[in-house]
Structure 1
């Protein structure tokens, strides 16, 4: 199966550069000059991954990213000239999987695309495996070397969410909305408390770790231990 990458950027030179490098690697590139055109392409074409520039006329990249996250289950890379932590936080809250600051090396974009496609394939499975640990998404069970590991429901849901998005930064707001619901009005730091307990229960587990990304949130990092 040929992978279709949507490239949404109002700069034709950047689109041409990305198309050249991705075509060489065997990817099919679908081009859009703005967010509206990108939405139209996604309605009629099968897209496996989207590379989206933030600053576009009509519908900007953040709006497009939120739309993709709501309607499709594909990875997204945001491109921007802004590199401040606050800008990245807005990007990740919009649902992006990765973030690349212009100017960028096309080969770096290619590496990130390949990594995201691998993670995406990983998270679509019913059982996620990290070294000797298995996370069974359908029956809410974690086993380590075949032995069940008891986890409270919320901690399991946090672990499953992080593991299903391995390598992707998830904000506290995203976790609260997904696990506690959009109507939750309690302390947003409840995520930190649950993550702390989860880390304690997983202290001796190898293969992955839950990493704090300062100012943004958390991610599950595969370490192959």
Structure 2
């Protein structure tokens, strides 16, 4: 299951996209007015579909504006067939094109192929609400400000964030982050979580939820 944003000025196309993708249990958000994309929480999505020819703000312009803010695949929906148009769009940072008119089967196959690739490749950044993980640099920022986490604290945050919404016990977190050769035990996770919450709390961010009797989860 993935979170997908589809932007197109044609309601019928958006309805078709939603109908096709919910079949694969994806969560689909649709936007008809392209000017509203700038206010969307783009980091929450695993894939973005942009129609090229839209009134207000066209797909090329949107891609150029948001590419640096998101690390997920961006796919264009377009009736343009000129090679120069395709190359221009890819040069702006798009990952692929889906030509109109398209079949439901082709749409599903193309999107799922990109989502599978994302699970195989280590992403460079991860955006969850206003929290930004620089995976290469192993840094966490809130509203653009770096949070001074220790290595262990960062590892716990990244582990939980990558499986946001899923609950893990202290033992599961310890094993995933430290391995069996760690020099402490799972009770250390409680203290690490306490320290993480204190540091994130200084930025008014409450990201880790305690599920009583079970463990913890990333809730943003």
Question: TM-score w.r.t. structure 1 length?
Answer: 0.52
Query: Structure 1: how far apart are the matches of 2:9 and 2:58?
Result: 10
Q: Secondary structure at the match of 2:85?
A: helix
Query: Structure 2: how far apart are the matches of 1:114 and 1:121?
Result: 11
RMSD: 2.1
Counterpart position of 1:54: 52
| Offset, 1:83 | 0.9
- Residue among 104, 107, 129 paired with 1:106: 104
Query: Structure 1: how far apart are the matches of 2:117 and 2:66?
Result: 17
Question: TM-score w.r.t. structure 2 length?
Answer: 0.53
Q: Secondary structure at the match of 1:87?
A: helix
Alignment pair present for 1:26 and 2:63: no
Look at both structures and tell me which one has the larger radius of gyration over its CA atoms. Answer: 2
Q: Is the 8 A contact 1:34 1:60 kept in 2?
A: no
Counterpart position of 1:119: 117
Counterpart position of 1:183: none
Query: Structure 2: how far apart are the matches of 1:31 and 1:118?
Result: 22
| Offset, 1:25 | 1.3
Counterpart position of 2:15: 16
| Offset, 1:56 | 1.1
| Offset, 1:125 | 6.3
Q: Is the 8 A contact 2:3 2:45 kept in 1?
A: yes
Which runs of structure 2 are paired with 1:45-194 in the superposition (5 Å)? 46-124=44-122
Count of residue pairs brought into register by the alignment: 126
Query: Structure 2: how far apart are the matches of 1:125 and 1:99?
Result: 21
Residues 4-39 of structure 1, C-alpha deviations (whole Å, 9 max, x = no match): 110100000000011011112101110111322222
Query: Structure 2: how far apart are the matches of 1:75 and 1:34?
Result: 21
Gaps of 5+ in 2: 125-135, 137-220
Residues 163-213 of structure 1, C-alpha deviations (whole Å, 9 max, x = no match): xxxxxxxxxxxxxxxxxxxxxxxxxxxxxxxxxxxxxxxxxxxxxxxxxxx
Q: Is the 8 A contact 2:77 2:99 kept in 1?
A: yes
Counterpart position of 1:143: none
* Cα distance change of structure 1 residues 11 and 124 upon mapping to structure 2, 3 Å threshold: same
Query: Structure 2: how far apart are the matches of 1:60 and 1:78?
Result: 11
Q: Is the 8 A contact 1:6 1:38 kept in 2?
A: no
